[in-house]
Copies of this chain bind each other. A is one copy, B any other.
Amino acid sequence: MPKEFKIAKGVKDWYGEDAILRNEIKDTLRRVFERYGYNPIETPMIERSETIKFKGGQEIKKEIFTLKDQGRRELALRFDQTLPLARFVASNKDVKFPFKRYVIGEVFRDGPTQPEQGRYRVFTQCDVDILGVKDMIAEAELLALAADVFKELGLGNIIIKINNRKLLDGILDYAGVPSSKKIKTIIILDKMDKIGIEGVKKEIKSLLPKNTVDKLISAITKAKNNDGTYKKLTEIISSKNSKQGLNEIKQLLDYSNGLKFVEFDPSLARGLDYYTGTTIEVFLKDRSVVRSAVLAGGRFDNMIGTFSGGKQEIPAVGFSFGLERIAMILKDIKKDIKSSNTELYLIPINTAKECLKIARSLRNQGLNIDMELKGKRMGQAITYAVSLGIPYVGIIGEDELKEDSITIKNLKTREQKKIRINNVYKYLKAK
């Protein structure tokens, strides 16, 4: 095959059961998002390059795909859904707050790919965000939403870990981490899950003096072993800001007391610099399926306002569901993934013209019907239906036509039965 007809590097075609599963996940996300009062928006995949490069470190900037139009304008493909949201709010003065929107769409990163982790250069981010609410009630609603999403996906057995950036900041202050090194420290702490506490210690040592590292690790360990009274934590933190962080955690736990699986974890870091308060990560309880977080998000009260001219703070909190990640997990654990949406495959025996009409009338009843179009013989036609994963074939010959019937064969059990056309819908849906 000539090289030019290969797929590009780092991207993927989705078809068969993968494509059907992706649609099912997107449908579930949309359904739950809309139940929680979020409405859809779609922003374009192409933005002005200045918009996309406005925030984010050098690392992420290297991964931005840039392009030019015929007018030599500098453009870029979006690499997340948050910058476009900020640009949307800044350029639409009729947005009403609270603004609750969801978006499901592709983003682009010119970086290393890890197919076994569901990481590609083009991937789908499904974001929900609430803009304009400072109170922890926004977080509480999002935690309930996350619980419902995973329940409806069949992944109900989760732990939601929460922390607060202000509180973590107080712990860093206590340990003596200078402001200039806080973000780098947080990025290392965020790896706790992957490299363990010893790995974290080792990495931080290249950044901070030994006594600071020791104080930091012991403070985090102390904070983690809290007995529900937060006594140890209150001894550590001192600034007004960090106390505010602790209050927010308490408030959020209070709002969420119906959700058993919400857990305060003062070591939770999230390696992004724009979080200002709550940080959230969701894990499957059974870590053997996937070790790292299946969902992550948090509060970013400064970013949207900066885009809107900085005159006004626009508090914001939200989540980003990674479609490829969720699909990979579900494919791993689900046993009944469909490889075709078709319910019945009609095989006409010299009755093609009549069969077209019968197919249409069954389709108009709401059944997914395919039919043999190439004049294949019965055996071949059945082999084809089996290879696509269609559960039933329906044979329509002269006899069936006379009797207004279809001979329906279950391709799993091989059971065969002549069914009146009027009863086909009921027969298939009863299965």
Contact = CB atoms under 8 A, between A and B. Distances in A.
Nearest to A372: B98
Contacts of A34: 341-342, 368
A88 interface: yes
Given A90-B5, A135-B375, A384-B96, A13 B39 contact: no
A110 B35 contact: no
A141 to B, nearest CB: 7
A235 interface: no
B255 A356 contact: yes
Contacts of A369: 35-37
A319 to B, nearest CB: 16
Contacts of A411: none
Contacts of A75: 8
A8 B258 contact: no
Nearest to A105: B106
A69 B110 contact: yes
Contact of A88 (B13, B54, B148): B13
A73 to B, nearest CB: 6
User: Which secondary structure dominates chain A's binding surface?
Assistant: mixed
Contact of A360 (B137, B258, B359, B367): B258
Interface in A315-371: 340-342, 345, 352-353, 356-357, 359-360, 363-364, 366-371
Contacts of A10: 69
Interface stretch (A15-23, A158-166, A208-216, A284-292): A15-23
B35 A352 contact: no
Contacts of A69: 9-10, 65, 110, 121
5 contacts: A1-B91, A3-B50, A12-B44, A35-B368, A148-B360
Given A4-B50, A8-B46, A258-B360, 6 more contacts: A12-B44, A13-B43, A34-B368, A65-B69, A97-B374, A98-B373
